[in-house]
């Protein structure tokens, strides 16, 4: 494992559902990242199409692909051609009536190194993901659950979007030996919210992920889409995705600062050795009271318990 790697997050607006056109732009950004020296490239959530979860429509299941489908094949090919590690995200058809929001990791010429199926599935206005996605299989499946993916660059703790809000998910990846946390994302504003509320939401999103870096002493890489995507429903106003992709070090420091509207491949150098020195001065792993955390597996604690 290299002591320092150059990592890139891709931030892209998605103007339509033509996978061919969208992937052509994505591949251009990947090549640009490689020209900048990137060894690791992270793509945003569901990058091949617009964010179809704004509505519940059974026709959208036609957008799903098998795990080895054409989108994965294109990404695997460019990872092999450039001999870089790429984290992609897609809509997986696992079986009839069984679909996942699935990240895949391709390790250059070595091919697929592993997958992660999104564990936390939201269901909110404009984000109707429970209609489409089955949660990941948890720790019953060696390919899934909160287990990092081993690559030549280290162990990648890949999580997806809504997973990024949960400290439990980040901690379990860290406990399993992740060298960094990676979040492909599609999140944005409701246009009906005022500017103050929009700012609070974006700041909360950045803060929670930086806190995962601090609490676990790990770098965090976040790739989010940008731009406006209209809702297919005439009664809804669409989503303005807030971009703000960033890379943070193990003390939450920005190695790549967030930018709302920029598009392209954005790179930063990431030290994978700093986690050792940071954890020596902030030994959170040492001081965890694992004997007292049993109630974390409970949904709620009633007042009389």
Judge whether 279 and 217 are in contact, CB under 8 Å. Answer: yes
Per annotation, catalytic residue among 19, 161, 229, 267: 161
Judge whether 116 and 144 are in contact, CB under 8 Å. Answer: yes
Per annotation, catalytic residue among 118, 129, 155, 267: 118
Check residue 175 and give its pLDDT: 96
Output Rg (C-alpha) for the chain, integer angstroms: 19
Check residue 2 and give its pLDDT: 72
> In the block, which residue shows the tokens 């949960």?
166
Q: Look up residue 10 and give its two tokens.
A: 């891709």
Active-site annotation holds for 81: no
- Look at the alpha carbons of 102, 107, 108, 112 in this order and tell me if their dihedral is positive or negative: negative
Active-site annotation holds for 161: yes
Q: Give the start-to-end residue ranges of the domains of the chain.
A: 4-297
Judge whether 241 and 191 are in contact, CB under 8 Å. Answer: no
Per annotation, catalytic residue among 19, 39, 45, 155: 45
Check residue 7 and give its pLDDT: 98
Active-site annotation holds for 45: yes
- Look at domain 4-297 and name its CATH class: alpha beta
The alpha carbon of residue 16 and the mean position of all alpha carbons in its chain are separated, in whole angstroms, by 21
User: Backbone dihedral region of 135: left (phi > 0), alpha (psi from -120 to 50 degrees) or beta?
Assistant: beta
Give the chain's count of helices (H) and strands (E): 6, 17
Q: Reduce the DSSP state of residue 275 to 3 states and report it.
A: helix
Angstrom distance (rounded) from CA 14 to CA 26:
10
Check residue 38 and give its pLDDT: 98
Angstrom distance (rounded) from CA 149 to CA 158:
7
Check residue 302 and give its pLDDT: 87
Mean pLDDT by 10 residues, the chain (305 residues): 91 94 97 98 97 96 97 98 98 97 97 96 95 80 76 97 97 97 96 93 98 98 96 84 98 97 97 95 96 93 78
Q: Where are the alpha helices (DSSP H) in the chain?
A: 19-35, 70-82, 167-175, 195-216, 274-281, 284-287
């Amino acid at each position: 494992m290299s002591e320092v790697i150059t990592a890139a997050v891709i931030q892209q607006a998605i103007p339509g559902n033509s996978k061919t056109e969208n992937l052509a732009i994505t591949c251009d950004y990947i090549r640009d990242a490689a020209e900048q020296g990137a060894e690791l490239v992270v793509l945003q959530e569901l990058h091949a199409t617009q964010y179809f979860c704004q509505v519940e429509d059974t026709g959208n299941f036609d957008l799903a692909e098998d795990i080895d489908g054409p989108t994965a094949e294109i990404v695997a090919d460019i990872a092999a051609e450039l001999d870089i590690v790429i984290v992609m995200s897609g809509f997986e058809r696992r079986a009839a009536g069984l679909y996942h929001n699935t990240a895949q990791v391709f390790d250059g010429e070595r091919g697929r190194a592993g997958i992660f199926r999104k564990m936390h599935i939201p269901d909110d206005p404009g984000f109707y993901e429970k209609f489409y996605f089955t949660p990941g299989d948890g720790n019953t499946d060696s390919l899934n659950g909160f287990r990092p993916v081993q690559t030549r660059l280290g162990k990648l703790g890949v999580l997806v979007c809504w997973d990024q809000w949960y400290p439990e998910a980040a901690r379990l990846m860290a406990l399993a030996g992740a060298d960094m946390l990676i979040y492909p994302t599609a999140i944005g504003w409701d246009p009906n919210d005022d500017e103050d509320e929009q700012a609070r939401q974006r700041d909360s999103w950045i803060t929670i992920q930086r806190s995962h870096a601090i609490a676990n002493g790990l770098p965090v890489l976040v790739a989010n889409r940008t731009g406006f995507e209209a809702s297919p429903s005439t009664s809804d106003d669409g989503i303005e995705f807030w971009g703000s992709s960033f890379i943070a070090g193990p003390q939450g420091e920005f190695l790549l600062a967030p930018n709302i509207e920029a598009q392209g491949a954005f790179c930063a150098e990431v030290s994978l050795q700093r986690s050792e020195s940071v954890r020596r001065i902030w030994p959170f792993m040492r001081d965890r009271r694992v004997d007292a955390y049993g109630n974390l597996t409970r949904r709620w604690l009633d007042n009389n318990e």
